[in-house]
Amino acid sequence: MPRRKIRYVDQALQRRLLFVLVASEVLLVSVGLWVLYGHLSEVVNQNLYRVHQSGSQPMFTLLLRETLVMLAGLVAANLVLLVIADRLWAGYVNSILRPFSELIARTGVLDFKEDAPPARQHPVLDLARDWRVRERVRYQAVRNEIMSIDVGADFSSPEERERSLAALQRLRQLLP
């Protein structure tokens, strides 16, 4: 069985978003490690000479707390970046789906008037507009064939029956 090809029509935008997310992740981790190093160095320096004191807090607890604070900060920053990327992507997709939905809705009610010049260029919208042009031509041909049938004709005459039958056969060919 042949496998379906996945075609990404927005490779440039997807590539930029991915690059920005990876670069921001590298930057976040680098800054996080630098800050964590500073905090852990401070904790170690404060507790370096307290090894023999019985009342001091265990070093593992201090190091764990600093690490968890840093991880929480990284997770929060990543969530903010993902929300921003999601909003950018959703806005882009909606800017394509809105005109596409309008085209399909107009087609659904058989409104084949000329389409306004596109506010946005996108391959999906171009395909929808091309399809509407083909459908406009097809529906005009259907309309012309229907108009050619004389409803008041005398169908008892063989010539009129043949003419009407030919028009109906042409109509059948025009329908999907």
pLDDT at 7: 58
| Average pLDDT of the residues of the chain | 81
Instruction: Tell me whether residue 5 is in a domain.
Output: no
Assess whether 93 and 125 both reside in one domain: no
Domain membership of residue 137 as a residue range: 112-176
How many CB atoms lie under 10 A from the CB of residue 37? 11
Between residues 14 and 26, the one the model is more confident about: 26
Contact 99, 68 (CB under 8 A): no
Contact 98, 72 (CB under 8 A): no
pLDDT at 124: 83
Assess whether 92 and 140 both reside in one domain: no
**Averaged pLDDT, 108-118:** 82
Domain count, the chain: 2
pLDDT at 53: 61
**pLDDT tens for each residue of 154-163:** 777 788 878 8
Q: Which tokens in the block code for residue 62?
A: 């201090």
**pLDDT tens for each residue of 52-105:** 665 566 777 877 888 888 889 888 988 998 898 888 888 888 888 898 888 889
Assess whether 41 and 68 both reside in one domain: yes
Percent over 70 (pLDDT), the chain? 87
pTM across the whole model: 0.61
Instruction: Tell me whether residue 105 is in a domain.
Output: no
Assess whether 94 and 53 both reside in one domain: yes
> Domain boundary residue among 98, 121, 137?
98
